[in-house]
Every structure is written in structure tokens, then in C-alpha cells.
Amino acid sequence: MPCRDLKDTAMKITKDASLKKYSGYGCGGRADRLLEAETRQELKNAVGSFSGDDRWTVLGRGYNTLVSDRGFRGTVIVLGGDFRKMSAAEEVISVSAAASLPELVKLAGDLGLEGAEFLAGIPGTVGAAVVCNAGIPGSEISDIIEEIEVLEVPGAGYSVLGKDKVRFGYRYCSLDGKSIITGCRIRLKKGIKSKIMSRIQEYLDTRKKRQPYEYKSCGSVFKNPDNGNTPAAKLIDEAGLAGHRIGDAQVSPKHVNFIVNLKNAASEDIWSLIKFVKGRVKETSGKDLELEIRLLGEGFEN
């Protein structure tokens, strides 16, 4: 069922919109409708127009999203404008959902606030990082979150949730798919700026050394099994899959939990390779790999 017309908003609305630039893989089909919300009122108006049968989703920069070649039959919401803002007061940074995660890390470092360094080198938006509880072994963004602002769907009302009202786990947030995360408050602590900047650079150098930044990707494809305790990369490597290709989709020899787009891979190539890796790892280790990336659209059947 189509959404009602949004005649009372200046929001940019694009029908039959390409989603290629909204996936880290740089491929994928089209959405029925793309809404680009610049203000909280615009977003509230848009969500308020949805009926209970409408299909919708929110995309940031798509660094964790594989978009189907068949596209998405529904509405994609992209946040911009006011949703990119950040501000700091004492040891707290208030950051909106479309703000860049690297810019948040830089701001914290510039202010001499420590606690966010482990996020250095992770691309994408803050909202997406909250949705998937981004992090590294031993540290997750939920560790430094104090409050989260959400827009309720349905209902189209804003509310602020304390961290105790949200369940987090390994690459999990209970708000995923139920509300639109529009911002959060991050609590850090005062530190020595030179040491903070040094740690940020160490994280950046390590990621650059170990990860295939030269190709389009969506980062780690699979969660680490056993609640994060068994490295997926180890299982993939032991299965002899480094460098395996389907079309221009490749298991990166540099980091085997990355599937990269060498040049012109279609989403179907990447999805076929994902299924192949899962099957081979199951055969060789008995472990079931779960996706860390998000699938959007039609045609991802096993």
C-alpha cells in the first residue's frame, strides 16, 4: 500500500531511486521511493504518513548493507541536514544519527576526551553504529552510550531512552527495525589529548594494514561465532577460501572475513559467494556463520 502524499513538507522525494550509492559494495537495485529528511519535523511528517502496511527502512551510508539487484519494494529514508550535527558539553557529546562516525572520533580526540578511540577507522554513521552495536573485541559503542533519541514507528513521536531501556548484545540492539534512531548522547572522560590522538592513529594504522580499504566492501561479513569468541576469519581461512571469487566478488586475501567488489560485482555475485563461504565453513568446521552485514530487498533466498 503506498504512503499518503507528503504535501506539507519540503523534503526531497525521489521515485524509483537507485540505491547503489547507499551500499558500501556500490551495487544493488532501486527503491520505490527515497525520502531525504533534513529536519526532525520533516522526518516526523514522513513517518506520520505511513500506514501499517507500508514497508520502510532507514539507510545511512550503507557500509553494512548489501542491496539486492532487485531493489527494495518500499520507502528508503535517508537522514541529512540537522541529523549530521554534533555538540559537546563537558564530557558528553550529543550526536545526531547521520553524523559521521570518524568525525565523532576526531571531535572526541580534539576535545581531549577518551573512550571512543576503538571506533577509529570504522566507516559509516553513528546511527548505524548504534543499530549494530559496532565495536571490536572488548569494546562496543554501547559501552559509552548514555541516552538514545528515537522516533517511534508507528506513532511518530520523539522520545529519549536511557541506556537501561535498551538491550544491547554482540552486534545487537533491541531498537533495530522497531524505531528510528535519530541521535544519542555519548559519555566519555577527560584524558591527555596527545595520548588519545596516538591511540586513534594506532587503530587507524592497524585497520589500514589488515583490511582491504582499496576495494568497495561492507566490512566484516560474518559475526564471530560463539558469541564473538571464535573468529570467523579463522574458520574461513582454515576452509581455504582466501581469494575465492564469484564474478568480481572476492573473499579478500588480506582479511578473509571481508568480501570485496573488485570492480563490477553484482549483488547476486556477492550473495552467491556469501552462501558458498557459509556452506564450506559448515563442512570444514561444523560452525554456522551468521551475517553481520544487513540484507536489503528481494531475492536473498538460500
Q: Which of 96, 252, 292, 294 is catalytic?
A: 292
Cell numbers 550509492 correspond to what residue? 21
**Residue 167: CB atoms within 10 Å:** 11
Contacts of 144 (CB under 8 A, 6+ apart): 115, 116, 186, 187, 188
User: Alpha-carbon distance 69 to 247, whole Å?
Assistant: 15
Same domain, 177 and 88: yes
Q: What is the pTM of this model?
A: 0.91
Residues 95 and 153 in one domain: yes
Q: Are residues 123 and 188 in the same domain?
A: yes
Instruction: Answer yes or no: do 239 and 257 share one domain.
Output: yes
Is 220 noted as a catalytic residue in this protein? yes
**Residue 206 placed within a domain:** no
The whole-number pLDDT of residue 8 equals 43
Q: Grid cell 526531497 — which residue? A: 12
Query: For residue 4, what pLDDT is reported?
Result: 42
**Which residues span the domain enclosing 278?**
212-296
Question: What pLDDT, on the 0 to 100 scale, is given for residue 5?
Answer: 46
25 lies in a domain?
yes
pLDDT in tens, 233-291: 999 999 999 999 999 999 999 999 999 999 999 999 999 999 999 999 999 999 999 99
Residue 254 in any domain: the answer is yes
Collapse the DSSP code of 155 into the 3-class scheme (helix H, G, I; strand E, B; otherwise coil) and give the result.
coil
Q: What is the DSSP letter of 129?
A: H
What ranges in 100-219 are assigned the alpha helix state H?
A: 101-110, 126-131, 193-210
Q: Are residues 174 and 222 in the same domain?
A: no
Which pLDDT belongs to residue 10?
63
Quick check: is 111 in a domain? Answer: yes
Active site residue 70: no
7-10's contacts with Cβ under 8 Å and 24+ in sequence apart are 8/45, 9/41, 9/42, 9/45, 9/46, 10/42
Q: Which is the catalytic residue, given 49, 220, 252, 267?
A: 220
Identify whether 279 is part of a domain.
yes
Residue 272 annotated in active site? no
153 domain residue, yes or no: yes
Number of domains composing the chain: 3
Q: Can you give the CATH number for the domain in which 123 is found?
A: 3.30.465.10
Question: What pLDDT is recorded for position 6?
Answer: 47
Specify whether the CB–CB gap between 125 and 61 falls below 8 A. Answer: yes
Using DSSP, state whether 109 is helix, strand or coil: helix
Q: Are strands 294-296 and 65-67 parallel, antiparallel or unpaired?
A: parallel
Instruction: Check 30, 171, 185, 294 and give the catalytic one.
Output: 171
Regions in the chain scoring below 70 on pLDDT: 1-10, 156, 302
Considering the domain architecture, whether residues 38 and 104 belong to the same structural domain is answered as no
In a domain, 26, yes or no: yes
Residue 301: inside a domain: no
**Average per-residue pLDDT in the chain?**
93
Do 173 and 107 have their domain in common? yes
Q: Are residues 96 and 130 in the same domain?
A: yes
What pLDDT, on the 0 to 100 scale, is given for residue 292?
96
